[in-house]
Structure 1
Amino acid sequence: MSSLAPLLPGTVALVGGGPGDAGLMTVAGRAAVEQADVLLVDHLAPEEALTWAPVETLVVDVAKLPRGAFTPQERINELLVEHARAGRRVVRLKGGDGFVFGRGMEELQACTEAEVPVRVIPGVTSSVAVPALAGIPVTHRGIVQGFTVISGHVPPGHPASTLDYGALARSGTTLVVLMGVATLPAITAALVENGLDPTTPAAVIARGGHPDQRVVSGPVADIAVRAAHVDPPAVTVIGEVASFAAVTAASTLEEVN
């Protein structure tokens, strides 16, 4: 089925909203929002996209804010199924791409198990788009041939962490850290302790895709100190490509010396 096919009553669409700028949403994502009877919205979804929905659309805030408002994932799954079974066109709107640390598969499984028709409309992932908006390529010919995206929601050594920081430090790839503002000191320390050159360039891009986007750059050994004033959401890039932040005119740059 085409991603632009009409959204039928009783159907759920899982839509990735991209990195923050509504103009970076996909055509299919916008079409789904324009047909929604119910919108279940995360706090990182583009605010402008809400204006595309019909005036009678029910908008439900299901944000998971760090140390703030929190809607359990189980309840979100229930809402998707409940509204779809009531014959409504349901759109789940997230920031970035819902299948990159966005629990999109959990929602897909909930709908599938409930025999609710579900459509996936991928979004532009912030792990690639936000660095690009700051003029940083995650790969670059002659510099790096790959990139690794990790979640920083728990620090190294935490029982819930499954990451091998020794392997990451030796990977030779660009490291992109999502959800890692609070844990950045521990993450960067673990990388350096495991052999990453402490002078490796790094950059923290705050509120990527928004008018107030800001970039803080510096060596990985002290990037956490330089970016201590940065609040979520932010994406951290670690690797030689992060040095492009110092020469780009694509965003406002805070160069802390």
Structure 2
Amino acid sequence: MKRIISYAGLVLGVAGAAMPASAAQADAIPRTQVAERQQPILIHDGLSSPVGMAHDDGGNLYVANWSAGTVLRFAPDGRRSVFADGLSGPSGLAISRAGDIYVASYSEDLVWRFTPSGKRSVFVRGLATPAGLSFDAKGRLLIANRRTHQILAAHPNGKIDVAAEGLQTPVGAVELPNGDILVSNIAGGISLVSGRLQARTINADLASPGPGIVRSGADAAYVVDYGGTTISKVDRNGRRTVIADGLSSPVGLALAPDGSLVVATWGANSVFRIGRP
């Protein structure tokens, strides 16, 4: 029987879920490599199940605080404030080129849009447990729609395209420069969508890849392993390099303005910094 992975009411796994047939394509993947590992440094604590994170142009870090139903804002000097409250299961978070903040409500099946001043409106609704968010090169918001096993792409006007399907409980996605998409699936595995909607599994080594996935260069992404303790770099060929370890259930991940990574963990309810990989 498959385990159900949950924390503070957020159910990410699916009992009895089976890996898709494409998982067999991961059999020939090279072994995991280990780089010089970075030591995580605690920068913010006292959070409540932090998930999605992103920086604005001013260097402020926004964090979706799942259990508290809030979005917190951390200034570059570390000062914290509540940017938004009264949310239901805020999960993924992304910031557009215009500076608007988008927050997925995992519990309400919608995505909120906030102006930098905090004014909110519903961007899209009618989703199915939306998790991680990111933007593609066209300015579309990529939404990991976990329950339908799809990655959706929402245009600025709210029109929705299907960017990928046939996934296994996707919770995060990021576009590569050539238009391919790397996807993290909480039930296990990293998938690549290349030229077609249908995805294929390229790496099945991680226990439970979480919503935290950010691009690394032209052909790879950094990925958290919620079911483990690591941050890894996985390239489009499935090669995995561990860059940090010792984190307690890492879930969220964001690239800082200085090139370092910030990691949100559920085990410690904290945010850590990892030096430039």
Q: Same fold (TM over 0.5)?
A: no
Structure with the larger strand share: 2
Structure (1/2) with the larger helix percentage: 1
Q: TM-score, normalised on structure 2?
A: 0.30
- The structure that has the greater radius of gyration is 1
